[in-house]
Structure 1
Amino acid sequence: MVTAAGAWLLGLIVCLAMGGGRGTDQVPVLAWSTEGSLWESQPPPSEGRILSGPQLASYLDPGLVKGPKTVVLFLQDKLSVDDFTVYGGVYSNMQENAFRNLQAALESSPSSLVLPSVDWHATGSLLASLQASVGSTPLYVDPLTIRDLRLNATVPSLLAVRLPYTSSSILMPPKEALSANDDVLGKVLAVLRGDGVPFTAILTASRPSRVVREMAGPLARAGRQLLAAKDEGRMVHPPLAFNVSGSPCILLWAARVLVGRGKVHAELTNRTFGEGATVSAERSTCDSHSANLVLDYGSVEGLGLVKITFKMSNQSYKVSGKPWFTLDQVDISVDTDQVTFNVSEVYAPVAYSYRCNSVSSLPRSGTVLQPSSPSSQDWLLHFQDFQIQGFSVQGMNFSYASDCAGFFTPAIWMGLITSLLMVLILTYGLHMVTGLKTMDRFDDPKGPSISVPQTE
């Protein structure tokens, strides 16, 4: 919905969530500027309407044309209106607001714009659209590097700040991740205000998040169950493909790619998949016996020059009577340092693909990726919802997937053991019942009484 600044702005988003249509294919877009009267003439979108790419551009154009020359795009990995509902502290019995800096920026800005329902395909290509509108190549910055910039208010500048969102508890809960992203947003805005640079800021996400309710609140009694978990489609972006002679030779897909060294972590999902992918796979090779997928990311903030290599082999085993492919090792190269992870249990028939919910070097995830040396313990490599195929690739679709989850999962084992105990108890009880016997002798109370002679 259209603009308005004030303390009630985040509450307005929640009201729109209650009144508008719901879906897993929409993300919010929030914009604000240091210059006033930019979006006052914009008519509000109809209730429940999901804006497309051209419609989003028409709403943002007044701020880009009439507003300041400096445009800052805060692009989060995942975000939904429900994030504001659950983690925004709108209700008194909820936890602390995870969007303090964002709310303060919206309240203090002369102009602001709120679009709660935008097609996530449109926001995924928003950076390229802004580049064409602003006329400047995007410059990726963070709170540390932005301090070294010398921005000119008269020269068009497009700054991009990536804010990773985690819906997994592997590293941190979603609320803490959103709060950390909000702190990054606050630091970047503080630097711009400190330098006296007028700007227009936009916050959105590449895809919708999957919000899980953390506590019971007033919305728990809402008839529409706004906070119910949603099943977002798995293939939110196409797989990465390495082509030979115009045909795909290797396919890779993951819902999340995370690389880290020590306390520094980098989210590489958007750089690997989708329209905004910047990774290069030109150094990859594949033939009928081996396949090497080399992902060259270039410079990654906080780490350096990052390159990840997947080494796969195709071998025939007489016992099974058919060839199998295995992922033997994964190498990470950062600048001059290289780390090797030995891979265990990643294999499938050569005509199949391999899929697993988690392929990670984290101990709690099963350590499928095992560091080859003690010096590699500080390195982190994590793939969520991982799928790969290095042989027999036909088109951009994976072959039948050999899943890492075995048939006898922990839940099945628990059910089998519980059933076995119940059967043993029942068998023991039946054995006791069938072993009961009637007494062969009984006392006869009607028999002759005993006579005891008396002597005087």
Structure 2
Amino acid sequence: MLQRTGSKMALIPLLLIVFSLNSCSGQVPLIMWTSEGYTMPQFPHPSAGHIVSRGQFVSYLNSALKATPQNVVLFLQDKLSIDDFTVYGGVFGNREDSVFSNLESALQASTSRLVLPALAWPVTAAMTELFQEELGVPAEHTDPDTLTEDQLHQADQSLLVISLPYSTGADSKERLRKNDAVIGHVLSVLTAKGVPYTAVYTGHRPSTVIQDTPTSWVERSPGRSLLQVTAASVKPPVTLNSTEGKPCIMLWAETLSVKYSQNDWFDLAPHTFNGTVTLDGSVCNGTVSRLVLNYPSVLGFQSFRLIFSMRKSLFPVSAREWSILEQVELDYDGQTATFLSGRGIYSPAEYSFHCQKVSSISDPLLVPRTASDNATLWSLSFTDFQIQGFGLTDENFKYASDCSGFFTPGIWMGLVTSLLMILVLTYGLHMIMQLRTMDRFDDPKGPSISVPQSE
């Protein structure tokens, strides 16, 4: 955290991020700055390695927003870590190689800024909700390409949320450069319209997670607690209530990634579990459950819906009812892409279904309806996917039926190898037990042993 006025060194906040938290790359950094003419109060500088908790961040936020413009622009990236600044930020003065040129220019022009090098992960997961509580206004998830006059306010409070994707591997540098261009575009529009603003740049979760994450703010429980969605979950599942007010459909996933044609992967999970997705069109009854997730804008489409259709059927062979995920649909700008359940997406009706990966690409569980369907243009990949459409009694998943069978290929290889080793050992012991010593020996110094032959 840092405050400076009239500084000509735009890279100072980024340098502080690097040197004050070199060993905590598992947390998420946050940078907050204002338009010219506004000054945030001065906060005590945290010690190196300090992780800002939820209560401490709320205290900072409450004090900062009292002195800054109430028009807040929240640039919320899917993932963000210190490593993104150290590797691509040009923090050692090489401005030509920096992918954050617009961000650095904005920090240099600002007279006041707040830098939190290490923000606890659950705090960033609920970042939108925290700003909504402090400002008392709902968040407006905005496409930067369609920023209109109606979304810009010069006096009233507003909270504009700009979602920024993130890519790993070779595409990460170019993705961060594009995100920085989006930041520059939005700030230039606000400046051109004369709208004072408070800007925040952070991430939903870290892009690099260390193994020794402090347990002071992450509750952990043994066993398969994730499959039952206990309090250790970072984000609550999506829940649809019936007309009686009881839960009838629940969905949880670590990622809900979609890809259209040659575009980059886009993760819907941050937009699904932050409370902004609507469930209009969803239905549930004793035999059919249909969960409809409505998104305002995805991959340039004005309307986008992700639909899960489930059915409960009686299987005579097993003499019990089973829940089957029949299909997953994508409804975008009036077009439909339908993926059918290729294999294995079913569970006993009173259980939930869980799978580490539900994908349409490698070892697919989802396949396009037909070869000429729009689904051939799309790719889906869900990780840590869990869904239940029947048998719910409260806001907790029932016992999870996992898509991975007990006898996996690795287990079979281990069993066969162990059996071969046991056979070799048994054969060796058998040969040893068959060895017999001679009951008479030939003395080379004495007469030879003669064996009489009987006629």
TM-score by structure 1 length? 0.75
Equivalent AA in structure 2 for residue 183 of structure 1: K
| 1:104 to 1:435, Cα distance in 2 relative to 1, 3 A | farther
1:390 equivalent to 2:380? Answer no
Could you tell me whether the CA contact under 8 Å between 2:329 and 2:336 is conserved in 1? yes
Give the alignment partner of residue 372 of structure 1, picking from 369, 373, 393.
369
Q: Which residue of 2 aligns with 1:262?
A: 261
What's the CA shift for 1:253?
1.2
Q: Which residue of 2 aligns with 1:141?
A: 143
Deviation per residue, 1:3-22 (Å, 9 max, x gap): 35653433422443369xx7
| 1:248 to 1:134, Cα distance in 2 relative to 1, 3 A | closer
Deviation per residue, 1:290-329 (Å, 9 max, x gap): 2222223344341342222222121222332322111111
- Paired with 2:159 and 2:286, the residues of 1 have a C-alpha distance of 45
Listed as ranges, the matches of 1:264-303 within 5 Å are 264=263, 265-274=265-274, 276-280=275-279, 282-303=280-301
- Paired with 1:444 and 1:116, the residues of 2 have a C-alpha distance of 90
Give the alignment partner of residue 21 of structure 2, picking from 17, 20, 23.
17
- Paired with 1:151 and 1:329, the residues of 2 have a C-alpha distance of 37
| 1:300 to 1:289, Cα distance in 2 relative to 1, 3 A | same
Deviation per residue, 1:310-360 (Å, 9 max, x gap): 221212223323221111112222122212211120111111111111112
Listed as ranges, the matches of 1:97-136 within 5 Å are 102=103, 105-106=106-107, 109-118=110-119, 123-124=124-125, 126-127=127-128, 130=131, 133=135
| 1:119 to 1:60, Cα distance in 2 relative to 1, 3 A | farther
What's the CA shift for 1:54?
3.4
Equivalent AA in structure 2 for residue 181 of structure 1: L
| 1:61 to 1:385, Cα distance in 2 relative to 1, 3 A | same
1:50 equivalent to 2:48? Answer no
TM-score by structure 2 length? 0.75
How many residues matched?
Answer: 416
- Paired with 2:290 and 2:361, the residues of 1 have a C-alpha distance of 24
Equivalent AA in structure 2 for residue 50 of structure 1: S
Q: Which residue of 2 aligns with 1:77?
A: 78
Q: What secondary structure sits across from 2:40 in the alignment?
A: coil
Q: Which residue of 2 aligns with 1:453?
A: none
Return 5+ residue gaps in structure 2 as ranges: 221-225, 227-232, 449-455
Deviation per residue, 1:76-124 (Å, 9 max, x gap): 2344557656876879xxxx97766645654564432112344555545
Equivalent AA in structure 1 for residue 272 of structure 2: T
Q: What secondary structure sits across from 2:336 in the alignment?
A: strand
Listed as ranges, the matches of 1:438-453 within 5 Å are 445-446=444-445
- Paired with 2:101 and 2:409, the residues of 1 have a C-alpha distance of 42
Could you tell me whether the CA contact under 8 Å between 1:17 and 1:82 is conserved in 2? no
Deviation per residue, 1:35-67 (Å, 9 max, x gap): 2662363444575552426314224315633xx
Could you tell me whether the CA contact under 8 Å between 2:33 and 2:112 is conserved in 1? yes
Q: Which residue of 1 aligns with 2:305?
A: 307
What's the CA shift for 1:160?
2.6
Quick check: 128-137 or 384-393, which moved more?
A: 128-137
What's the CA shift for 1:399?
0.8
Q: Which residue of 2 aligns with 1:64?
A: 68
Equivalent AA in structure 2 for residue 162 of structure 1: S
Could you tell me whether the CA contact under 8 Å between 2:25 and 2:210 is conserved in 1? no
Listed as ranges, the matches of 1:181-220 within 5 Å are 181-189=176-184, 192-193=187-188, 197=192, 199-208=197-206, 211=209
Question: Sequence identity, in percent?
Answer: 40
What's the CA shift for 1:400?
0.9
| 1:226 to 1:247, Cα distance in 2 relative to 1, 3 A | closer
What's the CA shift for 1:379?
0.8
Quick check: 233-242 or 203-212, which moved more?
A: 203-212
Could you tell me whether the CA contact under 8 Å between 1:141 and 1:159 is conserved in 2? no
Return 5+ residue gaps in structure 1 as ranges: 167-171, 214-224, 450-456
- Paired with 1:50 and 1:291, the residues of 2 have a C-alpha distance of 39
- Paired with 2:273 and 2:411, the residues of 1 have a C-alpha distance of 35
- Paired with 1:8 and 1:117, the residues of 2 have a C-alpha distance of 16
Could you tell me whether the CA contact under 8 Å between 1:242 and 1:250 is conserved in 2? yes
Equivalent AA in structure 2 for residue 293 of structure 1: L
Equivalent AA in structure 1 for residue 268 of structure 2: L
| 1:32 to 1:434, Cα distance in 2 relative to 1, 3 A | same
| RMSD between aligned residues | 4.2
Could you tell me whether the CA contact under 8 Å between 1:316 and 1:324 is conserved in 2? yes
Q: Which residue of 1 aligns with 2:236?
A: 238
- Paired with 1:151 and 1:289, the residues of 2 have a C-alpha distance of 43
Deviation per residue, 1:246-278 (Å, 9 max, x gap): 11111111122122321234332233223x322
